[in-house]
Amino acid sequence: MTLKIRIINGVKSKSVDLFLLFFYVVCLILIKIKSPASIYISYVLFAALIIVIYVRKERSREIVNLFTRFENELWISKVAGWTSLIAWCSFILIPFLINIKFIYMAKVLLMIFVVLIAISSILTIFILEINGYKSIKKIRLVLFSFISLCYALSSAFSASLFFQISNLDLSSSPWVEFLWKLTAFFVLFSFILQLVTYVIFVTTADKFQGYTLFNILGALMLLTLLMTFVTGRLDVVAYYVLNYSTDVEWRDNFSCGSKTFKHPNEKYFGFDTEKYTVYFSDRNGKWGFDEIKCIKGNQGNDGYTVKNVSEQTIPTWAK
């Protein structure tokens, strides 16, 4: 058999695999092309994908079996396999849905991918432990031992950061404090978890079979994307956290003497005092904090002064 024939046979046997990769990459490229033609091309690619899957039924079935057929009958293996399969199917369709302007559905599939990959990855770790991989148990114990240290470090750093941008003691606002510190903890813990996942992949990759390899790869990819986004857009993460937490706990207005004031897209911390902390969520495309000081006027004509503490530009896509 000549090399040319061997290559052709190899491509035929892996035609579904190659077209799935081709479909995803081209749809990803089309996202950057602002043209109506990208919509029609996306539909053509999707139709072609359905045809390839139908024509190459045997290979398509083999790919599904890779996730759903197991050497053991553990229910945990079945759950991990099916969740992984659904997660990767969702992931492949995300660029296609963006191209055909189904943005909301694309966001839903992204959340499905994130949640299911997280679930299947955790289950995979337990499966590896059940199968006798002692190194996994050691890594897990070391990881859990770092949790308290991670919380202490993230808590101190996040409280200091909040004070710098708002000039307000974080402990004065319990709900904001809880969500702010919880987010900081997850950011730091996700960074450590990324390193741990990489160590697990390097030390045990040669023993992975079927869906377990896809689960660990998915977890590593997900954590890498998460850390890339978080480290590059900490301001956006803070923006979302503050929007929700201040909306729940802070007030919609403030008072200086007998007068009450209120402005759109602003939340106020303080009650019947001479100084207020203001969080503004959208002021000329920016978010940040102001400090208000009340000024007593004659005959009840009270007013106030505003001093900006910090502000950040809101990305268009984050609004």
Q: What is the pLDDT of residues 218-273, one digit of tens each?
A: 777 777 777 777 777 788 889 999 999 999 999 999 988 888 888 889 999 988 88
pLDDT in tens, 179-206: 999 988 888 887 777 777 777 666 666 6
Query: 125: which residues sit within 8 A by CB, 6+ positions away?
Result: 136, 140, 200
What integer pLDDT is reported at residue 3 of this predicted model?
Answer: 46
Q: What is the mean pLDDT of residues 134-160?
A: 81
Average pLDDT over residues 9-34: 76
Give the range among 13-22, 23-32, 92-101, 269-278 with minimum mean pLDDT.
Answer: 13-22
Residue range 26-45: mean pLDDT, rounded: 86
Residue with tokens 């007068």: 259
Question: How confident is the model over 305-316, as pLDDT tens digits?
Answer: 899 999 998 887
More confident site: 249 or 115: 249
Question: For the purposes of burial, counting CB atoms within 10 Å of the CB of 103, is it exposed (0-12), middle (13-18) or buried (19 or more)?
Answer: exposed
- Are the C-beta atoms of 240 and 229 separated by less than 8 Å? no
* pLDDT value at 291 more than 80: yes
Token output for 130: 């059940």
Report percent pLDDT > 90 for the chain: 20
| C-beta neighbour count of 104 within 10 angstroms | 9
Q: Which residue has the higher pLDDT, 163 or 129?
A: 163
For residue 85, is pLDDT > 80?
yes
> Measuring CA to CA, which residue among 91, 81, 19, 93 is closest to residue 56?
19
User: Does pLDDT of 80 surpass 50?
Assistant: yes
Tens of pLDDT, residues 87-98: 888 888 988 998
Residue 13 has pLDDT above 60, yes or no: no
Q: What is the pLDDT of residue 2?
A: 58
Asked if pLDDT for residue 160 goes beyond 90, the answer is yes
Q: How many CA atoms lie within 13 A of 151 on its CB side?
A: 8
Tell me the HSE value of 204 on the side-chain side, using a 13 A CA sphere: 26
Give 194-251 as a DSSP string.
HHHHHHHHHHHGGG--THHHHHHHHHHHHHHHHHHHHHH-HHHHHHHHHHHHHHHHSB
pTM for this one? 0.66
CB atoms under 10 Å from CB of 161, counted, come to 15
For 82-101, the three-class secondary structure string (H helix, E strand, C coil) is HHHHHHHHHHHHHHHHHHCC
